[in-house]
A and B are shown apart, each in its own frame.
Chain A
Amino acid sequence: MEGKKRKPDVDKELVERAKTGDTAAFDELVIKHSPKLYGLVYHMTANHDDTNDLLQDVFAKAYRSLKRFQGKSSFYTWIYSIATNMSLNFLKKRNRRKGQMSLDDLDRQVEHDKELIEATMKSTSNPVREANLHELQKRLNDAMMELSDDHRAVVTMFDIQGMPHAEISKILGVSEGTVRSRLFYAHRQLQNFLEEFRR
């Protein structure tokens, strides 16, 4: 939309300092963005060790390429693009190892997370359903891994991380229409996978 003001990049100052060689500034960017990027990469790869290695590579690449970052998009969008592309490339190379998903480690964290417990209490209406929540999450994880890499990426960004369609389209370099259609297809796939469990 013409005339629409772009939000100022909150990371601009840190980026400018990092470009001059200020490693402490880049460290602050790492601290700020690694949690969300971890979530993105993990939900695409479903493996903690792969996520750790890949995330290290993402930040290393971002640091090396920082001088070429011109600020046309926010730093957040830029590094998100790097992370998404590297994750997709990684998934293409590796054989999908469904059995090696390390969700058990994360699931323990999830069970004890106060916010999650409150959220699940609100969303459940009876004890039986609550007991099945964990099983349902597990099934959902399996269903996520059945999606193609591209579809899993849009589900991760939209449904899990809550990003708007416009931002997803910038990151993936596709139109918003493509994002919506991929989401539609992915949601239908997930419904089909979970259909049997829900009966």
Chain B
Amino acid sequence: MSEELSEIQKLLRLKRYEKPRDGYFEDFLTEFQSRQRSELLRRSARSLLMERMGTYFSGLGRQRWFYGAGLAYATVMLGVFTWRSGGESPEQMAEKAVNESGGVLWSGDVELTAPVRYVEGGAMNVGMFGQGNGPVVNLDAQSPRRRVVLPAPNRILPVSLSDEVITREY
């Protein structure tokens, strides 16, 4: 090893004596402890919930298997239900129902006792349908934005987002 390198390495070894001010490491630990505490407090509600659930179930003994089985069953049923519905949103389901029905929402008799707003020819009208009148169907079918009266008693069924829903007015 050359003398020059040896000198450099001696100087480098001296650097290990470099240290911060007295008391630095005590303050460092205090700061670290304070940081740990605040991190624990900031822990997300979700992680706390998971931890508490874990603690709760671990304390149940054998019963935890029954709870676990119940949760698994509920999860499976939810998955089956979602799968069977094809993952459709309520709006999609309603639109599908309308399309399948040929645009007629209600084919039964309507029993109305109060004025009902309906739209015909783009104008809002108020009329009355007597008891036993026929089905209320799409009005203003030419309009690109279909206006549909939903007379189904006590039932309001949104058809699709593009349809303006007119409900019974009491």
Q: What residues make up the interface of A, taking CB atoms closer than 8 Å to B?
A: 23, 27, 30-31, 34-35, 38-39, 42-43, 48, 52, 55-56, 59-60, 63, 105-107, 109-110, 113, 115-116, 119-120, 123, 136-137, 140, 155, 159-162, 187, 190-191, 194, 198
Contacts and interface: CB of A to CB of B under 8 A. Distances in A.
B19 interface: yes
Nearest to B26: A31
Contacts of A194: 4, 8
**Interface of B (DSSP majority class):** helix
A94 B14 CA distance: 27
B19 A106 contact: yes
A109 B21 contact: yes
A39 B16 contact: yes
Contacts of B9: 159, 187
14 contacts: A30-B28, A30-B32, A31-B29, A56-B28, A59-B32, A63-B36, A106-B18, A109-B18, A119-B17, A136-B11, A140-B8, A155-B12, A187-B8, A191-B8
Contact of B19 (A23, A35, A123): A35
B4 A191 contact: yes
Contacts of B21: 105, 109
B170 interface: no
Interface residues of B, number: 26
B39 interface: yes
A123 B12 CA distance: 13
B15 A43 contact: yes
Contacts of B36: 23, 60, 63
B8 A190 contact: yes
B16 A162 contact: yes
B33 interface: yes
Interface string B18-32: 111100010011011
Interface in B111-144: none
Interface in B35-60: 35-36, 39
B127 to A, nearest CB: 70
